[in-house]
Chains A and B, each alone.
Chain A
Amino acid sequence: MSGNEIRREFFRRAKQGVPWGIVLVYLVFVLGNAFTIPRPEGGRLLVVSQVMAEAYGSPVTAALVQFLWSGLLGAALWTAEVPFLMERGTLLGSGAHFLVTAAVFSLAGWRCRWFPIWESWLCLLGLLLLLYVLKWSVRFLEWQSDIWAIRKSSGLNTAEPPWKILVPYLLLAAAVELLLPPALMLVDARDFPVLTGVFYPFLVLPLFCFFSACSLAARLRRWWPVYPPICAALTLPCVFLLYNYTALFQAWTAGIAALVGGVLGTVLRKLKGRRTEAAKKQENAERPEQTGDSEKN
């Protein structure tokens, strides 16, 4: 896409994002209000925070200010795809876009008093970063698979340097194991933390480690065994910063799940290799017969 086309696309998406941002922010407030017990004073539905309404002197002014900031945030979020349309500098563009979105989000949160404590702001920024990392990793894996298919079909060398295959998996693991727990903690219930106490350590973490290791081992022959210890090690910062030593089982969970996934991936790769080899042998065995047929014809 040319520079002008990208600019046009950017503004088109930004315009589309404004109403979505407004709807999203007000929806969060309405839903938040609906599930708040006890209901706010007078049973009214608040679309801005109480602190913001007090700071601006009237709820109407506060709602108007929040309207503008929500629109701007929506525009920023809706244009996150634009750097992927660029032929060069996609990573740089995406990184710059994250910084701008983070700045808009932080300013909007500060002006609209969305964050009662600075940790909640930090956690939501972490969640935003997680989304960007996930998006990038998934896109990179898609591109890699396209290139691999083209190479194979063109008879080119399909071998990729191991680090190039490993990097997106490590980025994904870092995003899931370092950024997801604090983000979940933010939205988790205080009395019974289901998300961080059950959902993450017993479902998300083992499943993620298992399937990512399975996919990695199916693609990497020798280097995949470095992945399970890395998965285990990546849980440690959150274990000591967010939980305590009693959550150390997460390291074992991650490591063992990745190891089992890796073994399964290796087995699947070998089975696939055997099937391909058998198919090739059969094809070679059938070829002289076909030539013979065409000769007869």
Chain B
Amino acid sequence: MKIDVALDPALRELLVKILAPGETEELAALLARLEEPLRLTGFREGGAVPLDPAEVLRFYGEDKEVRAQTLNGAIYTVRLRLYELEKRLDRRTFLRVSHSEIVNWKRVTALDLSLTGTIRVTLEGGAVTYVSRRYVKKIKEVLGI
């Protein structure tokens, strides 16, 4: 799939035009994604709140559940598996950094390698997590390196 972005200051709102050779599965999936933006629900202390993916720092597995840590430091439980989130979220923004964690790459402020070979990721607000070296290749692929 080729992506071509044309900026037009005359437009008042975002216009998405899709050129396709026919009605393919890829086209259907893309249309579904555009028409229905990802809705996430976070559960915490018996209540449920809608979560904006852009406000989420990371999704991680803990006690056989998936948690979402938001910008304000709150932790919610998400009733989706990590692989399901990985499929639904924007793959260029949410990167799998280890077997049990997906990180919002737009919220990463620093990436460090220690002398012992550990890769540390610092997120907005100072939250820290680690990248598995096995996932470095995949991260590079997604980032187009």
A interface residues, Cβ below 8 angstroms from B: 1, 84, 87-92, 139-140, 143-144, 146-147, 149-151, 153-154, 156-157, 164, 167, 291, 294-295, 297
Contacts and interface: CB of A to CB of B under 8 A. Distances in A.
A1 B98 CA distance: 10
B7 A291 contact: yes
B116 A90 contact: yes
Contacts of A144: 113
B111 A147 contact: yes
A92 B116 contact: yes
Interface of B: 6-8, 10, 98, 105, 108-113, 115-119, 130, 132-134, 136, 139-140, 143-145
Given A150-B143, A153-B143, A153-B145, A91 B133 contact: no
Scoring A1, A87, A88, A140 by chain B CB atoms within 10 A of each residue's CB, the highest score goes to A87
Given A156-B109, A294-B8, A150 B145 contact: yes
A126 to B, nearest CB: 23
Q: Which of B10, B117, B132 has the most CB of A within 10 A?
A: B117
A156 B111 contact: yes
A89 to B, nearest CB: 7
9 contacts: A87-B98, A87-B133, A147-B111, A150-B143, A153-B143, A156-B108, A156-B109, A294-B6, A297-B6
Ordered nearest first, which 5 A-B pairs have the shortest CB separation?
A294-B6, A91-B116, A90-B117, A153-B143, A147-B113
A164 B109 CA distance: 19
Contact of A149 (B108, B112, B116, B140): B140
A157 B145 CA distance: 17
A88 B132 CA distance: 9
